[in-house]
Amino acid sequence: MSTGVSVNIDILFADNHCLVVNKPARLLTLSDESGDETLLARARAYHFARQAPGKKGYLVPLHSLDRPVSGAVMFALSSKAASRLSEQMRGRDIGKTYLAVVEGRAPAKQGVLKGALLKDRERNVTTVVDASTQGAKSCELAYRVLGQKAGLTLVAVEPRTGRSHQIRVQLADAGMPIYGDVKYGASVAWNGQIALHARALAFTHPVSKAPVDIVAPVPAVWRDIWSGEFNV
């Protein structure tokens, strides 16, 4: 979608109520103690540049992706949209599909992984724990195998809960660490990124009520590790 606004951002969908962009790996979604550039800042620059003189415009993030992860991120551009889309998020009415290239082979062609996770906020590490552990949160995701080659497997993942680092930790616990994710057991690093991509978002438009389906192109660098198709 072209708007004539020159900002370094990949727009997947934009109207007066919501904005979906394709986040590159290694870019923060939101600010942290590093002070590095964020996707939020780029989205605001893009949105503000579209406003009438003297107007800044409303923009809030509805979810976030880890720094080494790429893919679709959605922002609300009005308070009405923020409320209605947040309600869809809470009700798990927004469909999210991720692609991941993992090391090794999946235990089955498709399956559901369930468990409990505990986040250590000081170390920014999440671990699989017994469900009775204090502070533990339940987690669940579904996966299906799309292809296998050279010791790697391409999987589509649909998270059913939204825990911190959930996909990364649950796949690693199942013997499928994500390529490049040395934090969670991968054998090799990958220049500050991991092979996890938020591929698709499906939601109900907060105003028109029409179904919206977004597909985020896979980063070109993925061809370095996976030469096949990325259909889901």
Are 195 and 222 contacting, i.e. CB atoms less than 8 angstroms apart? yes
DSSP 217: P
DSSP single-letter state for residue 138: E
Instruction: State the CB neighbour count (10 A cutoff) for residue 3.
Output: 11
* Cβ-based burial of 89 (10 A; exposed 0-12, middle 13-18, buried ≥19): middle
| Spatial distance between the Cα atoms of 89 and 199, rounded to a whole number of angstroms | 17
CA distances from 217 to 11, 23, 106, 144 (A): 11, 10, 24, 19
Kindly give the residue spans of alpha helices, DSSP state H, lying in the chain.
39-49, 79-90, 166-173
Q: How far apart are CA 161 and CA 141, in angstroms?
A: 7
94, two tokens: 């927004």
Quick check: is 66 catalytic?
Answer: yes
Q: Are 190 and 179 in contact (CB under 8 A)?
A: yes
Determine which one of 15, 66, 93, 130 is catalytic. 66
Catalytic site positions? 66
